[in-house]
A and B are shown apart, each in its own frame.
Chain A
């Protein structure tokens, strides 16, 4: 189904929210308000938003260590996300998970995951549950080119193909596993899509920075999954603008001109969608500025919410080890 202007503006709003949320998370990380590691998704926003735009509320996704974008795209609450990054009691995980463990089970977001490739089999299990449930639910596994080299993706694509599970494997190929170029460590010059043929499932490589291409591929894969025809592998080629992780003083080994090239308006997924909407007369500069202000206000409110929330009480450390 072609995307109408209202839907596209909503998608743009979500993409801009992801970007602004992470710009703030990065700034607050360097300001010492957020600890540990923050992995930014900036530059890859079209994938999470395009795929989740093809899903229903009851569908389930799993994310990676780079998980803020998937959370926001699946409808997670910004206040509780930011409070979690701040390590506060009102965060999604009561301040005990942090950036790499944000989950919202009510929204079907089964969690970011701190282990590369660690989520793939979990969400394949959600697909098995959906199939046994028989109500047409589907599951999406987001993973990176780094995880494509680990065992779980092979184990799970094999099972999902053999059992025709309703799942879409979405490889966000940003071309680097941390600092290591995929082209030097992943067979076939770093292209992952070819794996699909080995399992006899459809595989499609798309421009991950083109929201239309992402959404169209996801819709087709979701329709197949809902119809009981099994999994699809989507390789969405993209690039992350920021370093592997926000960590002061760590060099980014990627070529400067390569990084800058991916930020140009003809490659930036947000600029491309803005240009499309403007060209068709569905968005003005003023409207986009207003949208951006709205987004920034929401981020500001989430930070205020986080600041106001208390740190966890010492006794909280002992809660939630076991379910009663």
Chain B
């Protein structure tokens, strides 16, 4: 399948840039590490390295083009063995026919009446386009206006406005008493947040990344998650811990890992992992209002992505409700956060071949909305889970186990999982790419459970 090369982000906050110069032409043979283009922003000029191997088929953006948005396809590369002119995935949407072997759901007769799968009332009002980082910022700002006990604390959240610029403008509006720069002391400020919550405030604690929260995991689990229970219901910790989780780009093992399963394991914690700006805003607002500790697993590579967000300051997404983002009858595909990128792309590709996926965005990892998943599996009789996290004891592992336990008779194929590879994240771009799941793997997994 041809590969699209996307406009890269040269920094966590870059949203667009100038494609200054191409160093390749159609027909060029490239391999990982080859310099293929130069990109300029107002801050820097950078060389773009290829992470792929193959022959350049087409340049999609002319040299000299200004304001090319991050993640825009800029070139198409054909891998060895592919015939020239094979359409790129995006061009495939209307082609293809149903594979002859696609089995029809067999257990339909035994299925109970389908329950309603609506996650929340459909929003029909006006929307505005926001990036994920703006949506998260607006969620905090609105809740801080609404409740004077809400405050934000973390490394570089005030003057610098967040390492990933999520807290832009908050210091100006709310002042240094409510937007507080901490020293680099995760255990310290996580515990301080828990104590402030016990004393009646509603802290939002930002971790620069969840990787660094490993230093604070004792406070998150032994203090925040357990205090309500240990104290016999006297007092809990109404606190939000948030920050980027999962793989970033080219930052290697200690800065690129997904903690979804770690925290979803813990009774007393709620865990959400939004994939789009509307969910990010609604879930973060719900998290701040929740009387329990809620962890918001954001994603660095999604901060700059845009989407429609309901207008106004009362948009809430219920914690614990998954969302069916695409209906289908052949296979249930469950994912969350950046995994949704692969799930959605695969569903698009498969639709062109006549396989209709029902794509579920979990949004919340605890509570896990098994009801929505099971209802879907009873309809499609197949399930594939998709996540960037390691495969052992992952969120997908739990979902597949629950499906096997609760809907075994509805399954027409063993559940399948798509995960990151079971290794610490390698640094080299080609290896990093291999360590993460992609849409092709999801396509293959769906085909395997469909015996297609």
Q: Residues on A close to B: CB < 8 A?
A: 60, 62, 91-97, 101, 103-105, 110-111, 114-115, 118, 120-130, 132-133, 139, 151-152, 155-156, 158-159, 162, 319-324
Cα-based distance from A101 to B291 in the complex (angstroms): 21
Q: A103-B234, A158-B185, A324-B291 are in contact. Are A132 and B191 (CB under 8 A)?
A: no
Measured in the bound complex, the distance between the Cα atoms of B233 and A105 in whole Å is 11
Which residues of chain A have C-beta atoms less than 8 A from B234's C-beta? 92-93, 103-105
Q: Contact between B228 and A323 (Cβ–Cβ < 8 Å)? A: yes
Q: Is the CB of B231 within 8 A of A121?
A: no
B238 touches A124 (CB 8 A): no
Q: Kindly provide the distance from the CB of A245 to the nearest chain B CB, expressed in whole angstroms.
A: 19
Q: Choose among B177, B190, B218, B228 the residue that contacts A115 (Cβ–Cβ < 8 A).
A: B218
> B189 on the interface (CB 8 Å rule)?
yes
Scoring A60, A97, A320, A324 by chain B CB atoms within 10 A of each residue's CB, the highest score goes to A320
Residues of chain B in range 81-112 having any CB-CB distance to chain A below 8 Å: none
Q: B192 and A124: CB pair below 8 A?
A: yes
Q: How far is the CA of A129 from the CA of B188 in the complex (A)?
A: 15
Which chain A positions have C-beta within 8 A of B20? Answer: none
**CB <8 Å contact, B231 and A97:** yes
Q: Is B162's CB within 8 Å of the partner chain A?
A: no
Q: CB-CB contacts of B178-197 with A at 8 A, as 1s and 0s? A: 00001101011111111111
B267 touches A122 (CB 8 A): no
Chain B residues contacting A155 (CB-CB under 8 Å) are 183, 185, 187-188
Interface 1/0 per residue, B206-227 and A, CB below 8 Å: 0000000000001100110001
The answer for the CA separation of A155 and B219 in the assembled complex, in Å, is 13
Q: Mark B152-184, 1 if CB is under 8 A from A, else 0.
A: 000000000000000000000000010000110
Query: With an 8 A cutoff between CB atoms, is B232 at the interface?
Result: yes
B235 to chain A, nearest CB (A): 5
B427 located at the interface, meaning its Cβ lies under 8 Å from any Cβ of chain A in the complex: no
Is the C-beta of B200 less than 8 angstroms from some C-beta in chain A?
A: yes
Instruction: List chain A residues, Cβ under 8 A from B219.
Output: 118, 121-122
The answer to whether B1 has its CB under 8 Å from any CB of chain A is: no
Question: How far apart sit A229 and B1, CA to CA, in the bound complex (Å)?
Answer: 67
List 20 other contacts, CB 8 Å, given A128-B196, A321-B228. A62-B195, A92-B231, A93-B230, A95-B232, A96-B230, A115-B218, A121-B192, A121-B219, A122-B191, A124-B191, A132-B151, A132-B177, A139-B195, A155-B185, A156-B188, A156-B192, A158-B185, A159-B182, A320-B228, A321-B267
Look across to chain B and name the residue whose beta carbon is closest to the beta carbon of A134.
Answer: B177
Residues of the B chain whose Cβ atoms lie less than 8 Å from the Cβ of A97? 230-232
Residues of A within 8 A of B191 (CB): 118, 120-122, 124-125, 152, 156
17 A-B residue contacts at CB 8 Å? A91-B232, A93-B231, A95-B232, A97-B232, A103-B231, A114-B222, A121-B191, A122-B192, A125-B193, A125-B194, A128-B196, A129-B195, A129-B196, A155-B185, A159-B188, A320-B228, A321-B268
User: Which of chain A's residues have a CB closer than 8 A to the CB of B192?
Assistant: 121-122, 124-125, 128, 156, 159
Decide: B227 and A111 in contact? CB cutoff 8 A.
Answer: yes
Q: Give Cα distance in the complex from A105 to B197, angstroms.
A: 12
A121 to B235 alpha-carbon distance, docked (Å): 17
**Which A residues are in CB contact (< 8 Å) with B227?**
103, 111
Task: Flag if A322 contacts B232 (CB, 8 Å).
Answer: no
Q: Which residues of A contact B199 (CB under 8 A)?
A: 60, 125-126, 129-130, 133
The answer on a CB contact under 8 Å between B292 and A323 is yes
Q: State the CA gap A259–B151 with chains docked (Å).
A: 49
A130: B residues at CB distance < 8 A: 199
Q: Which residues of A contact B236 (CB under 8 A)?
A: 323
- List of B residues within 8 angstroms of A323 by Cβ: 228, 236, 238, 291-292
Cβ-closest 10 pairs across A and B: A125-B195, A121-B191, A155-B188, A129-B199, A93-B232, A94-B232, A125-B192, A122-B195, A323-B291, A320-B233
Complex CA distance for A231 and B304, rounded to whole angstroms: 42
Interface flags for B241-284 (1: CB within 8 Å of A; 0: not) read 00000000000000000000000000110100000000000000
Q: With contacts A92-B231, A101-B230, A155-B188 known, is A322 near B268, CB below 8 A?
A: yes
> Do B228 and A103 have beta carbons less than 8 Å apart?
no
Known: A122-B198, A125-B192, A129-B199. A111 touches B222 (CB 8 A): no
A105 x B228 contact (CB < 8 A): no
Q: Which residue from chain A places its CB closest to the CB of B185 in the assembled complex?
A: A155
Nearest Cβ in chain B — how far from A314, in angstroms?
15
A126:B195 contact, CB within 8 angstroms:
yes
Which residues of chain A have C-beta atoms less than 8 A from B189's C-beta? Answer: 121, 159
Q: Mark B122-137, 1 if CB is under 8 A from A, else 0.
A: 0000000000000000
Which B residues touch A139, using CB under 8 A? 195
Contacts of A124 in B (CB 8 A): 188, 191-192, 195
Cβ contact within 8 Å between A94 and B233? yes
Complex CA–CA separation, A216 to B271 (angstroms): 47
Is B201 an interface residue, CB under 8 A from the partner? Answer: yes
CB-CB under 8 A from A103, the residues of chain B are: 227, 230-231, 234-235
B229 CB-CB contact with A under 8 Å: yes
| Min CB gap A70→B, angstroms | 15
Residue on B nearest A130 in the bound complex, by CB? B199
Knowing A96-B230, A125-B199, say if A115 contacts B222 (CB, 8 Å): yes
How far is A152 from B222 in the complex, measured between Cα atoms in Å? 14
Q: What residues on B are CB-neighbors of A62 within 8 Å?
A: 195
Alpha-carbon gap, A101 to B268, bound state (A):
16
> With a CB–CB cut-off of 8 A, which chain B residues contact A159?
182-183, 185, 188-189, 192
Residue of B nearest to A103 (CB): B231
Please measure, in the bound complex, the distance between the C-alpha atom of A95 and the C-alpha atom of B233, giving whole angstroms: 11
Known: A152-B188, A321-B268. A118 touches B218 (CB 8 A): yes
Report the bound CA distance from A1 to B200 in whole Å.
32
Alpha-carbon separation in the docked complex, A313 to B243 (Å): 39
User: CB-CB < 8 A to A92: which residues of B?
Assistant: 231-232, 234
Closest to A97 in B: B230
How far is it, in angstroms, between the C-alpha of A162 and the C-alpha of B189 when the chains are bound? 13
Q: How far is the CA of A120 from the CA of B223 in the complex (A)?
A: 11
